[in-house]
Chains A and B, each alone.
Chain A
Amino acid sequence: MQVPAPFEYERATSVEEAIGLLEKLGDGARIVAGGHSLLPMMKLRLANFDYLVDINDLHDELGYITVEADQVRIGAMARHRELLESNELGAAFPIFADAERVIADPVVRNRGTLGGALCQADPAEDLSAVCTTLGASCVIQGRGGERVVTMEDFHRGPYETAVGAAEMLVEVRIPLRPNGSSAYEKVERRAGDWAVVSSGAAVWMDDGVIADARVGLAAVGANTAGLPEISAALRGQAPSEELYARAGEIAARSCDAATDTRGSADYKRHLADELTRRALRRSVARINERA
């Protein structure tokens, strides 16, 4: 059995209390939500903390998925399984269910949370790519109130986020626009593995042309990255295989692929291309199906 280094444990029953505990306990404290990334790292002693502040009791408060007229608000404690099973979320953003189906396994999905996934800031993490693709913003709460940052600003590098001392991510907001759809494509070596590469796409149509489109990649860079150049190339164009190919070419060229045990850099660039095409194609097909 792998055992973590000694640590103390506190359980928060409100956001306020969690922030208070973080404030009191200082740098050595860390929030634990689902724990499916943090605890394995602690057991391997890759991460050692003096205190864990358990926020699982906040699920009632922060476990919501609320679809409003112009945005979807998701509480940081919404669990993977809830994201997967939410029909409303699936209708608004099919990309969530696409991604959730290939995130880890049911045991992890029963516990892992959206907030935990984003705060882990793993470069290969799927929900980060989903939120990047959808242009989400993150609500960070501290003693002085809340602030809202974009996904681009939220991730500062591998395993680093904009969440400061005595702050916590409480909500993710995703703008909801008409006549759009989305999709997620991932290649993994085995079910439950981290992505070799994945690509998310979101497309909004207007009268037969692409009004806007976004693509986000995972596992090919320091953080999941949005690709504004693709958005620019697609806007105002009618969807076509040639257009997807152009987007794929931009994705391959723009990503930062490195050779590792999951695959060669060449292969990953190829996947960025191939999966971007597939995600765009599927997004547009979904819009057409609905129309």
Chain B
Amino acid sequence: MTAVSETPVTAFEDNDQSPVGYGRMLRKEDPRFIRGKGRYIDDVQLPGMLHLAILRAPMAHGRLVSIDTTKAAAHPKVKLVVTGAMLAEKGLAWMPTLSNDVQAVLVTDKVRFQGQEVAFVVAEDRYAARDALELIDVEYDMLTPVIDVRKALEADAPVIRDDLEGKTDNHCFDWETGDAAATEAAFAQADVVVREDIVYPRVHPAPMETCGAVADYDGVDGKLTLYSTTQAPHAHRTLYAIVAGLPEHKIRVLAGDIGGGFGNKVPIYPGYVCAIVGSLLTGKPVKWVEDRSENLTSTGFARDYVMRGEIAATRDGKILAIRTNVLADHGAFNGTAAPVKYPAGFFGVFTGSYDLQAAYCKMTAVYTNKAPGGVAYACSFRITEAVYLVERIVDCLAHELDMDPVQLRLKNFIRPEQFPYETKTGWVYDSGEYESTMREAMRIAGYEELRREQAQKRERGELMGIGVAFFTEAVGAGPRKDMDILGLGMADGSELRVHPTGKAVLRISCMSQGQGHETTFAQIVAEEIGIPPADIQVVNGDTDQTPFGLGTYGSRSTPVSGAAAALVARKVRDKARIIASGMLEVSVAALDWEKGAFHVKGDPSKSVTIQDIAMRAHGAGDLPEGIEGGLEAQICYNPSNLTYPNGAYICVVDVDAGTGRVKVRRFIAVDDCGTRINPMIIEGQVHGGLTDGVGMALMEIIAFDEDGNCTSGSLMDYLIPTAMEVPDWETGFTVTPSPHHPIGAKGVGESATVGSPPAIVNAVVDALKPFGIRHADMPLTPSRVWDAMQGRPQPPI
């Protein structure tokens, strides 16, 4: 392991490099983005294209009595009006969710959340489509909504999912992990037990580009081309084939450029299906692009876990066990996108980065009259919630023991020699040097000096807080024996073709939403075969052009697809070696590879470059016996395990004692994501995730009033942070490669989103220590901080 510090980047010259392989370089995709030449869903314009708008339910729970579309259909520019009843005739009123539940495409019986899709209009332009929505007359009978998750299972709670046969309550699923008895035994022998109720409120990914689709059905050759905002084009294509009964080879999904996903663009939304139906029925291309309010109120939310955390320890700070009970709000339909065997995602990593004797989690998931979803916002399949829980409860323990939170963590970390380490909930952590990573963060922060400053400020009545969090993620789903989504294994394909002149095209199955795949994947291939990244085109997001794979979410691109890219490049290099042996007239064993060329061992002057080899592979000359022409390969990579990135985060806040306002003064993030492919891109991902964390910790919540009206339906109400709320990020890193990953890399895209909220909350709670505060829930708005200072912290829901 190496530990290298990074000072905040003030000069960018070092980014403008052209590594043949790993290293800093500017993103290949950025010229088109910064020139406004990206191709997002709303940029798609097709001849004769019509526009679709969706009528949404005004209440959270209500029975559909009647729906009259006569006036809307009579609008001069309207081509089509479709209701749930019409879809039901075609067997399309309901569709499967990614969690083996079903979700209404359009309401046929009753409304189950405010903003649910009731009918749609297809018109000549989007203005007419929107106007015509107001001409649809719908009569509803109001029903009492289930909004408070804690009351969802009460005997007299109205049953939301009466569409499910025999359903008499709002129970969604139960799930448990760990060993209840062993955990109870560990708690029984503990000197100290700390309990805390911890809420991770519902938040929303709110990508800059909302969701949308353009469906173009060609009635002559029976081919559906679907442009859509999807993080998983191949999985979507297969599901459309299954749902709509269209032959899979006649469906082409094109994702184009995606303006941010964060998990919001993993599910299939009713709007996509409506666009397809609209095109099938009109024979024209049909565009649907949701507006901001539709995105916030109806698409995949994140979190919404009400957790009780319990931690048991000895008096001197050895953590024995962690136990948690979780009440999970899944909204009206279980739309969670997670591997099927993991209904709670990877929440099982709630044991954190610590060597425990026992752990146990019991979870109950319920339906409520809220939008469906549940895995989104860069959460790594619920690891965000798990890490928040453990890092908060460990701080609560530090509070009770009156121990420095860093010292408590250092005392309990899994030690380097314990890897691979199997946790008490069955996860096999691949590698980590937790103490070194923690100490690197402390060094950058000047931790001891910060504590001295805090002590002085406390004497003056000033509220300064220092928060620490250490996370371990489990990313890169996943081994296909354990992990599938609706039966589709979570492996990823990759194809590499080297053209005669030595340029190459790499086709990958995952899908960039801004992560920089066109650059990172070109660098992965460059590192393996020595072709400069500029000469490698990376194709993603077109199911007709790329191999099958499950897409990009849960930080899985580099762990899975990145591995596939490296391995397919090695396969090409292996073939190149054989061709080179023919060209140099020596055996393959007599060749040495130096990035970009083979030379004869002991005689570097006898050498052929990869470009020479590519031309030979496509040329007229002889090739070694048994070798076909061409220089290309294809593989499908099935990971043997997840990768476990980790990191140490330290946050410094100042709280205005008079107003409760929190100022994040400093934030130090030391990440260990194994091998670093493009440090600039990693830093960008970390910066973005940290900013997300500030949002969640301090301001974001999708809130509902008691009638189930979503009160966070616009960006005036749902606050996301701006540059004004964030400090200059201070990033650093350690490098502990993943032992099982072909290039030792681990996923990093969500690390900062996972790790930063507990660091910020821990800092605010630390600042409020003079008030005797041990816990306060997010979002820590000025009002909620002030409430905590008055000794009455309130849960946000």
Contact = CB atoms under 8 A, between A and B. Distances in A.
Contacts of A264: 783, 787
Q: Among the interface residues B712, B724, B725, which one has the most CB atoms of the partner chain A within 10 A?
A: B724
Contacts of A5: 131, 134
B257 to A, nearest CB: 18
B661 A187 contact: yes
Contact of B711 (A194, A261, A270, A275): A261
A3 B661 CA distance: 36
Interface size class of B (residues with CB under 8 A): 20 to 34
A91 interface: no
A130 to B, nearest CB: 20
Contacts of A271: 659
A6 B131 contact: yes
Main secondary structure on chain B at its contact with chain A? loop
A263 B781 contact: yes
A291 interface: no
Q: Among the interface residues A3, A5, A278, which one has the most CB atoms of the partner chain B within 10 A?
A: A3
A261 B659 contact: no
B782 A267 contact: yes
A13 B783 CA distance: 46
B293 interface: yes
A190 B131 contact: no
A55 to B, nearest CB: 25
B719 A193 contact: yes
B176 interface: no
Interface string B659-699: 11100000000000000000000000000000000000011
A2 B127 contact: no
A261 B699 CA distance: 11
A232 interface: no
A191 interface: yes
A190 B699 contact: yes
A244 B674 CA distance: 57
Given A2-B292, A191-B725, A267-B787, A274 B659 contact: yes
Interface in B706-724: 711-712, 714, 716-717, 719, 721-722, 724
Contacts of A270: 786
A278 B781 CA distance: 20
B291 A2 contact: yes
A189 interface: yes
Given A1-B289, A3-B127, A190-B719, A261 B703 contact: yes
Interface residues of A, number: 28
A196 B783 contact: yes
A191 B725 CA distance: 7
B130 interface: yes
Interface in A3-19: 3, 5-6
B126 interface: yes
B462 interface: no
Contacts of B148: none
A44 interface: yes
A6 B77 CA distance: 14
A190 B722 contact: yes
Contacts of B781: 189, 262-263
A192 interface: yes
Q: Among the interface residues B130, B131, B659, which one has the most CB atoms of the partner chain A within 10 A?
A: B659
A1 B291 contact: yes
Contact of A1 (B126, B661, B717): B126
Contacts of B712: 261
B658 A274 contact: yes
A261 B787 contact: no
Contacts of B131: 5-6
B660 A267 contact: yes
Contacts of B292: 2
A189 B703 CA distance: 15
Interface in A246-271: 261-264, 266-268, 270-271
Interface string B761-787: 000000000000000000001110011
B721 A190 contact: yes
A179 to B, nearest CB: 28
Q: Among the interface residues B699, B716, B717, B782, which one has the most CB atoms of the partner chain A within 10 A?
A: B782
Contacts of B130: 3
B714 A44 contact: yes
Interface in A91-141: 105
A222 B127 CA distance: 35
A115 to B, nearest CB: 22
A229 B661 CA distance: 29
Contacts of B783: 196, 262-264, 267-268
A6 B719 CA distance: 29
A267 B790 CA distance: 10
B573 to A, nearest CB: 48
B42 interface: yes
A195 to B, nearest CB: 11
Contacts of B711: 261
Contacts of B703: 261
Contacts of A266: 787, 790
Given A2-B292, A274-B658, A191 B126 contact: no
A1 B42 contact: yes
Interface in B275-309: 289, 291-293
A3 B129 CA distance: 10
Nearest to B719: A190
B651 to A, nearest CB: 18
Given A187-B661, A261-B703, A6 B127 contact: yes
Contacts of A189: 699, 719, 781-782
B211 to A, nearest CB: 13
B56 to A, nearest CB: 13
A44 B715 CA distance: 12
A80 B714 CA distance: 24
A266 B659 CA distance: 12
Contacts of A40: 716
A278 B787 contact: no
A268 B699 CA distance: 17
A270 B786 CA distance: 9
17 contacts: A2-B293, A3-B130, A6-B127, A44-B293, A44-B714, A187-B782, A189-B781, A190-B721, A190-B725, A191-B722, A192-B722, A261-B712, A261-B717, A266-B787, A266-B790, A267-B787, A270-B786
Which 10 pairs show the lowest CB-CB distances between chains A and B? Answer: A263-B783, A191-B724, A267-B783, A2-B291, A274-B658, A190-B719, A3-B130, A267-B786, A187-B659, A189-B781
Interface of A: 1-3, 5-6, 40, 44, 105, 187, 189-194, 196, 261-264, 266-268, 270-271, 274-275, 278
